[in-house]
Amino acid sequence: MSKILIIDDDIAICELIKINLELQGYNCIYSTDPVRGFALIKQEKPNLVILDVMMGAVNGYSVAQKIRQTKEIEKTPIIMLTALGELNNKLEGFNSGVDDYITKPFEIEELKARVLALLNRSGEQIDSLRVKEILSKGDITLIPESYQVQILDKKAQLTPIEFDILNVLMQKEGTMVSSKVLLKEVWGYDEDNIDTIRVHITHLRSKINKISSSKNKYIQTIYGGGYRLLADGIEE
């Protein structure tokens, strides 16, 4: 039975999520105090954390960063649950190491689907997706043991999800990959959540651009369709 920890200063939301996820067979605990919540993560070793952002003096971004910096819990999947829906807020969340992002108000069925997909992804599904050996195409090399991308002679550190997105695009190099296909391949659900993909692609593209020629771009947006990787780059 998967154990889920909810950290949100609104006890009503904690209870709502707990009741609904327990009906799905999960073991749920919660804390309305982010400091206590972080201590529970280290103590309980949950399979997944649902984390609010705005919680007074200690926000969810800092809790997520502490999780990623603490060796025994650094790989714990995190869903960020927040009323902050702007692109820069989502980018800050992904910068902090969260795996998925749901904006309040939310549908409980959507949350249940995201929880299931992320638990599946962190389990057996991720093994079929993960690159086992170094993969090179054109200017780009993926280094799986360190989650790094190398463009010619420069490297950048990626999150596991960024790595998996780039892996899918490299496997289909030169071909358009829709947002729906990326969601299915990387997260494991069929919902067409364009915003989630857009934020991750923005972050991934920024990291790649920092280590490549300022004129040479590798990920193209195909408007109304999806994304295409050009491993040799293209001047824009």
pLDDT digits 0-9 by tens, 119-134:
887 764 444 345 557 8
pLDDT digits 0-9 by tens, 41-70:
999 999 999 999 888 788 888 999 999 889
The answer for residues whose C-beta is within 8 angstroms of residue 131's C-beta and 6 or more apart is 142, 144, 163, 167
Length of the chain: 236
Give 89's Cβ-side CA count (13 Å radius).
16
Average pLDDT by stretches of 10, the chain with 236 residues: 93 95 94 94 94 86 90 89 70 78 87 87 52 80 87 87 90 91 80 75 88 80 88 78
Q: What confidence score (pLDDT) does residue 126 get?
A: 43
Nearest to 31 by CA among 15, 54, 48: 15
Regarding beta strands 177-178 and 226-235, do their DSSP bridges make them parallel or antiparallel, or are they unpaired? antiparallel
Whose structure tokens read 């982010």?
34
Question: How far is Cα 65 from Cα 60, in angstroms, rounded to an integer?
Answer: 9
- pTM for this prediction: 0.71
Q: What confidence score (pLDDT) does residue 193 get?
A: 67
Question: How far is Cα 165 from Cα 229, in angstroms, rounded to an integer?
Answer: 11
Token readout for 28 is 């749920």
